[in-house]
């Protein structure tokens, strides 16, 4: 039996303990600081000092609970409990929605996914998180586990479906239709061919909808980022916590040449009016190519001026439609903006400019167009139909949009003007108007059917922007998006060092990015990176095709990302993991591309999406229409955060603080 320590030994051990844990240093610091500051509440002063230096929380438990299950969809809640400041406390709670699948088969899979997600949390994720305080390391490790599990489960489900009819391709296709994996519209059986010398007609390629587990994985990753941000110290704003996490995550593999300074504010994009959704039959509904007409604040405005002006615009639109309504117009759609019938694009543009003119704000805003491309393309004829009865080849659409921008120089942004398959036309349009207008590709898949039809392009469409959340999720009738997924771009960012950028070459001011994504919902593995092919000229880019990555994948298409990237975190085609979003945004910004964060597509996470956009220095935030309280709440949160960001201490002029540096020179254009 050991003898008790003497008083001298105990004192020496205590001093050693305090020294090793920096307690003496902290006490000396706080006493000196408190003497200089001379606070009245000394206990509160000491408490605040040590709280700011407390260890981040350790996750103790994670539960995923189904709240409501009905004919419309299901609500789940993720609850994260942890230990912080010597107490057990709730780190975050996140309620998220999963749309009900279109058939009973996927509904049963959905239940299995929920159980599998709970097992993954208990057996793998929670043990890894409970070993150390919550940090960017733990977020990265958790997302890597989620990605590996998600890819493996997706592959297993696909093999299970394929094995049911291994020797009969037609039966396999039928099985996939029933399972929601691969569907084709009736018009897709014929590949249209034309004799046009410039480009050949590429048929619409159809993607798979993400399985139910994609919603669980995305929400889980979002919840853990929320926990990490909320558990930071009181003096740190959430967007600052996001920036800190992003800097730590990317600093592991970036050099001085590739380091990104995340110190610019995103500008809000607000939808003023929508094109009418399919099936309404309203008079004057002839224009098919306009999805949304956006207004973009000029970067000379302060955050307060931007917020006030946007709200005034919303009220003016509502007043004008009440006093003199358009026949067949809708005062409020699901994205928070009204819809008006248009016989041509000029009708909607003139209406928006009239709103700005009446408010004397024409010199304070630019315009943007979120376009419809895939749904107005006829694969048999190889032509687009931007206006009813007016069919145009892809090359003629280049002139169509160039003429429109020439007529309305206020247009500074075009989102999704073409399908991904018409890659040469992206380059042609960039050559025509790229000096004054951002061309944005997007990871959001578009419907392949006409907007006047039912399904994905109608009122229940997933990508229409006017989706009714009360409609069950339809089978996939979505085409491949014009830009790669978040996961693929994240892999590009991780693979480019220490080697030079792979699959990227500059061609006349544009960046051609070779993407190996196929019709598979998730591009997995690293083999696809080896098959990316850079293009040294537009001719090379137009003629190049990707090799097959798998026997069933089919021919890969070259992916073209123009001067901007419109990215949605919604789990339509793939899950969206937060650390992958950080890596993907880092890559696009390193290529000097403007980035647009579509936060309106996410019905949960509240204002954290705004903090993510600010923390990652996106160029724009797409808010949707301000007719919904949650959208207006996000705008108000943006102005509060932006006002703090641009406080007098920063000594930055507004035009320098905003992330739209590429077009800051045009701020005086009308």
Q: Cα(483)–Cα(561) distance, rounded to whole angstroms?
A: 6
pLDDT 10s digits, 526-540: 333 333 332 223 333
Q: Which pLDDT value is given to residue 452? A: 41
Task: Work out the angle at residue 151's Cα, subtended by the Cα atoms of residues 147 and 155, and round it to the nearest 5 degrees.
Answer: 170
- Single out the residue of 646, 439, 445, 432 nearest to residue 562, CA to CA: 439
Element (H, E) at 356: helix 345-358
Q: Is the pLDDT of residue 279 over 80?
A: no
Does residue 227 lie in a domain region?
A: yes
Residues 217 and 351 in one domain: no
Domain match, 241 and 284 both? no
**What value does the CA radius of gyration of the chain take, rounded to a whole number of Å?**
27
In whole angstroms, what is the distance from residue 285 CA to residue 345 CA?
A: 11
Domain encompassing residue 464: 271-498+569-646
Q: What is the pLDDT of residues 14-53, one digit of tens each?
A: 888 888 888 888 888 899 999 999 999 989 998 888 887 7
pLDDT, tens digit (0-9, with 9 covering 90-100), for 92-119: 899 888 876 544 445 555 567 778 888 8
Q: Residues 345, 488: one domain?
A: yes
In a domain, 205, yes or no: no
| 432, part of any domain | yes
Burial 367-395 (b: 16+ CB within 10 A, else e): bbbbbbbbbbbebeebbbbbbeebebbbb
CB 73 within 8 A of CB 469: yes
> Residue 186: helix, strand or coil by DSSP?
helix
- For residues 203 and 657, give the distance between their C-alpha atoms in angstroms, rounded to a whole number: 44
- The Cα 147–Cα 326 span in angstroms is 48
Please state, in angstroms and rounded to a whole number, the distance separating the CA atoms of residues 464 and 339.
Answer: 13
Kindly state whether residues 292 and 224 are assigned to the same domain. no
User: Do 217 and 354 fall into the same domain?
Assistant: no
Q: According to the per-residue pLDDT averaged within each range, which of 318-332, 355-369, 438-452, 549-563 is highest? A: 355-369
* Banded pLDDT at 201 (limits 50, 70, 90): low
pLDDT band, residue 465 (cuts 50/70/90)? very low
Q: What is the mean pLDDT of residues 320-331?
A: 84
What is the 8-class DSSP label of residue 138? H
Residue 468: is the preceding peptide bond cis (ω within 30°)? no
Q: Strand 365-371 vs strand 377-378: parallel, antiparallel, or unpaired?
A: unpaired
Mean pLDDT, residues 400-424:
94
* CB-CB neighbours of 137 under 10 Å: 13
How would residue 640 be classed by pLDDT, with cut points 50, 70 and 90? very high
DSSP 8-state secondary structure symbol assigned to residue 98: E
Question: pLDDT value at position 297?
Answer: 95
Least confident of 12-21, 191-200, 330-339, 657-666: 191-200
**What pLDDT, on the 0 to 100 scale, is given for residue 549?**
33
**Mean pLDDT value across residues 576-592:** 92
Quick one: 364 and 442 in the same domain?
Answer: yes
Say yes or no: 386 and 339 in one domain. yes
Is 164 domain-assigned? Answer: yes
- Alpha-carbon distance of 151 to 521, in angstroms, equals 10
Q: Count up the domains in the chain and report the number.
A: 2
Looking at every residue in the chain, the average pLDDT score rounds to 76
- pLDDT for 604 beyond 90: no
Q: 128 Cβ partners below 8 Å, 6+ apart?
A: 138, 141, 142, 145
Same domain, 392 and 461: yes
Q: Does any domain span residue 533? A: no
The string of pLDDT tens digits covering residues 168-200 is 445 444 434 433 333 344 343 333 333 444 445
For residue 558, tell me if it sits in a domain.
no
Same domain, 240 and 283: no
Please report where in the chains the tokens 């400041």 appear, as a residue.
85
pLDDT given at position 75: 86
Task: With beta carbons less than 8 A apart as the criterion, state whether 184 and 208 touch.
Answer: no
Taking CA atoms, 439 is separated from 245, 370, 568, in Å, by 30, 10, 16
Q: Which pLDDT belongs to residue 533?
A: 31
Top mean-pLDDT range of 416-430, 440-454, 477-491: 416-430
Same domain, 173 and 286: no
CA-CA distances (angstroms) from residue 77 to 65, 96, 146, 575? 5, 6, 18, 17
The CA distance from 12 to 10, in Å, is 5
Is the pLDDT assigned to residue 8 strictly greater than 90?
Answer: no
**CA 444 – CA 215 distance, rounded (Å):** 15
Q: What is the pLDDT of residues 65-93, one digit of tens each?
A: 888 765 557 888 999 999 888 888 898 89
> At 269, which helix (H) or strand (E)?
strand 267-274
Would you state the pLDDT for residue 519? 35
Give the Cβ contact number of residue 87 at 10 Å. 8
CATH number at residue 398: 3.20.20.120
The predicted structure's pLDDT at residue 258: 63
Q: Report the pLDDT value the prediction gives residue 468, as an integer from 0 to 100.
A: 39
137-151, 231-245, 341-355, 424-438: which range is least confident on average?
Answer: 231-245
Query: Which range, of 126-130, 186-190, 305-309, 609-613, averages the lowest pLDDT?
Result: 186-190
Task: Tell me: pLDDT of 232 over 70.
Answer: no
- Of the candidate ranges 1-15, 20-34, 471-485, the one whose mean pLDDT is the lowest: 471-485
In a domain, 539, yes or no: no
Burial of 300-332, coded b for 16+ CB within 10 Å and e otherwise, reads: ebebeebbebbeebbebbeebbeeeebeebbee
Q: How far apart are CA 11 and CA 414, in angstroms?
A: 72
Q: What is the pLDDT of residue 32?
A: 92
**Percent of the chain surpassing pLDDT 70:** 70
Top-ranked range on mean pLDDT: pick from 78-87, 187-196, 223-232, 234-243:
78-87
Instruction: Answer yes or no: do 581 and 468 share one domain.
Output: yes
- The pLDDT-based confidence of 477 (bands split at 50, 70, 90) is confident
Candidate ranges 94-98, 127-131, 202-206, 398-402; pick with highest mean pLDDT = 398-402
Averaged over 588-593, what is the pLDDT? Answer: 87
- Between strands 504-507 and 510-513, the pairing is antiparallel
Q: What is the pLDDT of residue 110?
A: 59
For residue 251, being part of any structural domain is answered with no
DSSP H stretches of helix in 482-577: 486-495, 527-530, 538-543
Long-range contacts, 501-506 (Cβ 8 Å, 24+): 501/591, 502/529, 502/532, 502/534, 503/529, 503/532, 503/533, 503/534, 504/534, 504/591, 505/534, 505/535, 505/536
Which of 202-206, 282-286, 444-448 is predicted least confidently?
A: 282-286
What are the residues whose beta carbons fall under 8 Å from the beta carbon of 663, sequence distance 6 or more?
A: 299, 366, 412, 438
pLDDT at residue number 459: 33
- Residue 7 pLDDT level (bands cut at 50, 70, 90): confident
- Residue 593 or residue 532, greater confidence: 593
Q: Same domain for 356 and 476?
A: yes
pLDDT band at 451 (very low <50, low <70, confident <90, very high): very low
Q: Please, what's the largest Cα pairwise distance for the chain?
A: 99
**pLDDT recorded at residue 11:** 87
């Amino acid at each position: 039996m050991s003898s008790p320590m003497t008083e001298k030994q105990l004192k020496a051990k205590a001093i050693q303990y305090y020294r090793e844990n920096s307690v003496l240093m902290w006490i000396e610091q706080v006493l000196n600081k408190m003497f200089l500051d001379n606070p009245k509440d000394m206990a509160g002063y000491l408490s605040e000092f040590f709280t700011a230096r407390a260890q981040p929380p350790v996750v103790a438990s994670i539960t995923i609970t189904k709240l409501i299950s009905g004919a419309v969809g299901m609500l789940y809640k993720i609850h994260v409990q942890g230990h912080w400041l010597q107490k057990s406390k709730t780190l975050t709670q996140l309620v998220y929605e999963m749309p009900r699948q279109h058939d009973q088969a996927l509904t049963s899979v959905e239940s299995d996914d929920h159980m599998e997600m709970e097992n993954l949390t208990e057996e793998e994720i929670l043990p890894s998180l409970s070993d150390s305080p919550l940090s960017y390391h733990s977020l990265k490790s958790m997302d890597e586990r989620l990605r590996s599990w998600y890819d493996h489960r997706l592959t297993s489900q696909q093999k299970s479906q394929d094995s049911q009819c291994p020797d009969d391709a037609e039966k396999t296709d039928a099985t996939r239709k029933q399972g929601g994996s691969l569907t084709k519209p009736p018009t897709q059986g014929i590949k249209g061919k034309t004799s046009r010398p410039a480009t050949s007609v590429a048929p619409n390629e159809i993607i798979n909808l993400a399985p139910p587990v994609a919603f669980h994985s995305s929400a889980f990753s979002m919840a853990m980022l929320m926990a990490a941000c909320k558990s930071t110290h009181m003096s740190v704003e959430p967007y600052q916590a996001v920036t800190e996490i992003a800097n730590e995550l990317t600093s592991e593999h970036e050099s001085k040449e590739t380091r990104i300074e995340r110190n610019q504010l995103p500008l809000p994009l607000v939808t003023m009016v929508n094109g009418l959704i399919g099936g309404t039959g309203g008079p004057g509904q002839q224009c098919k190519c306009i999805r949304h007409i956006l207004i973009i604040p000029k970067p000379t405005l302060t955050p307060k001026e931007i917020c006030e002006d946007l709200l005034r615009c919303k009220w003016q639109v509502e007043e004008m439609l009440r006093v003199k309504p358009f026949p067949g117009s809708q005062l409020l759609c699901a994205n928070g903006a009204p819809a008006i019938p248009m016989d041509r694009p000029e009708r909607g543009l003139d209406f928006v400019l009239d709103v700005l003119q009446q408010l004397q704000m024409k010199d304070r805003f630019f315009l943007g167009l979120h376009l419809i491309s895939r749904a107005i393309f006829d694969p048999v004829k190889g032509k687009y139909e931007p206006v009813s009865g007016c069919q145009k080849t892809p090359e003629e659409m280049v002139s169509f949009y160039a003429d429109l921008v020439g007529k309305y120089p206020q247009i500074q942004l075009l989102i999704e003007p073409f399908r991904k398959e018409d890659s040469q036309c992206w380059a042609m349009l960039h050559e025509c108007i790229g000096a004054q207008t951002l061309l944005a590709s997007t990871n959001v898949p578009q419907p392949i059917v006409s907007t006047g039809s039912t399904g994905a392009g109608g009122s229940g469409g997933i990508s229409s922007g006017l989706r009714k959340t009360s409609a069950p999720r339809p089978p996939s009738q979505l085409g491949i998006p014009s830009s790669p997924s978040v996961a693929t771009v994240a892999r590009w960012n991780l693979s480019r060092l220490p080697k030079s950028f792979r699959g990227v070459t500059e061609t006349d001011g544009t960046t051609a990015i070779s993407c190996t994504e196929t019709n598979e919902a998730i591009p997995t593995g690293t083999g696809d990176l080896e098959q990316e092919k850079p293009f040294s000229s537009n001719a090379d880019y137009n003629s190049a095709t990707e090799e097959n990555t798998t026997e069933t994948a089919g021919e890969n298409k070259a992916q073209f990302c123009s001067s901007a990237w419109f990215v949605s975190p919604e789990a339509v085609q793939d899950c969206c993991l937060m650390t992958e979003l950080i890596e993907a945004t880092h890559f696009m910004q390193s290529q000097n591309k403007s980035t647009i964060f579509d936060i309106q597509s996410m019905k949960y996470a509240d204002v954290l999406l705004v903090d993510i956009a600010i923390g990652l220095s996106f160029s724009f935030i797409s808010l949707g229409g301000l007719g919904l309280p949650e959208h207006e709440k996000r705008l108000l949160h943006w102005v509060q955060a932006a006002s703090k960001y641009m406080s007098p201490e920063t000594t930055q002029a507004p035009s320098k603080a905003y992330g739209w540096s590429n077009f800051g020179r045009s701020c005086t254009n009308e």
